[in-house]
Amino acid sequence: MRVLGVDPGLTRCGVGVVEGVAGRPLTMRGVGVVRTPADAELGHRLVAIEQGIEQWLDQYKPEFVAVERVFSQHNVRTVMGTAQASAVAMLCASRRGIPVALHTPSEVKAAVTGSGRADKAQVGAMVTRLLRLDAPPKPADAADALALAICHIWRAPAQNRLQQAVALHASKPATAPKGRIA
């Protein structure tokens, strides 16, 4: 499975491609950041992010795209920019028919480090170890993108089984319990 992880942001949008399957060593195929100038018009920044994501999709041809789920922060302006960058990544993948998965920051941290409260340094250290890298990817947005891809590779099989079980249950007709009615 090849996954493009996207850590959305307007100024720095982390991107990283990881390949492998759960239970086996994983391989980093690429890591980087799509940057936009903070003083540029919002529309131009979103187009630049789109062009950057499209280049990554063209070059690495991922089977899945994993994007960090935007959650409410204290700074509404920051969360809006993150949500807009996230929507661009989802749009680019969906336009190509590539499935998109959203993972919360705590879900990613728990998958990679074992703790949903891990800090950036812990995530970077575990990404470095799991992918057998010489040093943590810089900036932290790039390491976070790789962590998203790792999280998806590890969690996708269980999520798929759960979705199949729910679909199977929903397709069966409801039956009345057997026994005496008093």
Active site residue ranges: 7, 68, 141
| Residue found by looking up tokens 């990283």 in the block | 16
Q: Is 68 annotated as a binding residue?
A: yes
Measured CA to CA, the distance from residue 57 to residue 62 in angstroms comes to 7
β-bridge partners, 3: 18, 64
Measured CA to CA, the distance from residue 99 to residue 3 in angstroms comes to 10
Contact 49, 7 (CB under 8 A): no
The size of the chain, in residues, is: 182
Q: Is 141 annotated as a binding residue?
A: yes
Q: Show the tokens assigned to 86.
A: 């996230």
Measured CA to CA, the distance from residue 131 to residue 146 in angstroms comes to 9
Closest to 150 (Cα-Cα) out of 15, 35, 5, 42 = 5
Measured CA to CA, the distance from residue 168 to residue 42 in angstroms comes to 45
| Numbered residues of the known binding site for Mg(2+) | 7, 68, 141
